[in-house]
A and B are shown apart, each in its own frame.
Chain A
Amino acid sequence: AQKITQTQPGMFVQEKEAVTLDCTYDTSDPSYGLFWYKQPSSGEMIFLIYQGSYDQQNATEGRYSLNFQKARKSANLVISASQLGDSAMYFCAMREWNFNKFYFGSGTKLNVKP
């Protein structure tokens, strides 16, 4: 079974609007962390936001927030007020603390339209 599933290969959003990128995960480890990375066309991987499995509140970092629904095993990334510079690939990832493994999803390509 896939550890991380991103079902949206590509997304379009109008500039200044909000967009949600979906991510579901599968793990039997009670301790895990969820991460989102941005990969612009230049290729580097940029860490955006983190959510721990025991965190009670959803993580936020500026315009990024993580909609964490533990029972549904989902960790969707919400980008508010999209900017042209947000156009990139976005990867969801998970770290299992007890098994000490990292897993990445296949990514979502976001295009922000002016």
Chain B
Amino acid sequence: DADVTQTPRNRITKTGKRIMLECSQTKGHDRMYWYRQDPGLGLRLIYYSFDVKDINKGEISDGYSVSRQAQAKFSLSLESAIPNQTALYFCATASRDSGTSGSSDTQYFGPGTRLTVL
């Protein structure tokens, strides 16, 4: 089974609708992230969370909200979807700094959710 899962994998919705994207992880990581990727571009950070009570805005948080329901679950909501939110959305997890640093401290990504807002 995948360590980081996202649901749904694909979603088409209409302008003005509320939509929630969900992310679950079994890696036991404290840190979780939401990114969006527009065609041909890199990833931009929407929100990140260091633990259940610590949620922070990223560079493009306007129009989005998040909820960290548990250590393993981090949801992203679009309160009123608009067409320019059409993108590929990734959830990622990372461990707390181990102090030794290494490849285990990388971010692990979910498979992505393709969202289309008509």
**B101: interface (CB < 8 Å):** yes
Pair A107/B112 contact, Cβ less than 8 Å: no
With A100-B97, A105-B42 as given contacts, are A33 and B90 in contact (CB-CB < 8 Å)?
no
Which residues in B have their C-beta under 8 angstroms from that of A44?
109, 111-112
If A52-B102, A97-B97, A100-B97 touch, does A43 touch B42 (CB 8 Å cutoff)? no
CB atoms of B107 and A102 under 8 A apart: yes
Contact check, A47 vs B106: say whether CB atoms are below 8 A apart. Answer: yes
Q: Interface SS of chain A: helix, strand, loop or mixed?
A: strand
Report chain A residues within 8 Å CB of B88.
43
* Contact in complex: A102, B94 (CB < 8 Å): yes
> In the complex, what residues of B have CB within 8 A of residue A45's CB?
90, 92, 109, 112
Write the chain B residue with the least CB distance to A46. Answer: B109
- Name the CB-closest residue of B to A37: B109
Q: Is the CB–CB distance between B105 and A33 below 8 Å?
A: yes
B64 in the interface, Cβ–Cβ < 8 Å?
Answer: no
Partner pick for A35 among B35, B106, B114, CB 8 A cutoff: B106
**Which residues from chain A contact B33 at a C-beta distance below 8 Å?**
102
The verdict on B70 contacting chain A, using a C-beta distance below 8 Å, is no
- The winner among A91, A93, A97, A102 for most chain B CB atoms within 10 A is A102
The answer to whether the Cβ of A106 comes within 8 Å of any Cβ in the partner chain is yes
User: Can you list 24 A-B pairs, Cβ within 8 angstroms, ordered by A?
Assistant: A33-B102, A33-B105, A33-B106, A43-B88, A44-B109, A44-B111, A45-B109, A45-B112, A47-B107, A49-B103, A50-B102, A50-B105, A52-B101, A52-B102, A54-B101, A91-B43, A95-B106, A100-B97, A102-B33, A102-B94, A102-B107, A104-B43, A107-B40, A107-B41
